[in-house]
Amino acid sequence: MRPQDYEVDISPLSPADGGGFTGVAPELPGCRSDGATPEEALANTYDAIACWLEAAAELDRPVPQPRLVAA
């Protein structure tokens, strides 16, 4: 599976939280990142997904199948 196979939800952060945008991979518990722009948040979240998948493999933990099917 590729990080881009997983859904990523991007939303703005409040000024109190530092501004910018956050990205969350809802299928992967605790997998999130942020960035100054939506594009940066998406790229950073894909990096976080790659790390999440690698850690799950190293710990022999199950990995949820992506809901989205890449075209």
Domain of residue 54 covers: 3-58
Whether 15 is in a domain gets the answer yes
Region for 12 from its dihedrals, namely left if φ exceeds 0, alpha if ψ lies in -120 to 50, beta otherwise: beta
- Residue 67's pLDDT is 84
Cβ contact 34:21 at 8 Å: yes
Whether 68 is in a domain gets the answer no
Number of separate domains in the chain: 1
Reading the block at residue 21, the tokens are 């945008």
Whether 67 is in a domain gets the answer no
- Say whether pLDDT at 69 is over 90: no
Whether 63 is in a domain gets the answer no
- Residue 1's pLDDT is 80
What are the tens digits of pLDDT across the range 31-58? 999 999 999 999 999 999 999 999 999 9
Whether 65 is in a domain gets the answer no
Q: Which helix (H) or strand (E) covers residue 36, if one does? A: none
Whether 69 is in a domain gets the answer no
User: Which residue spans within the chain are E strands per DSSP?
Assistant: 9-12, 21-24, 32-35
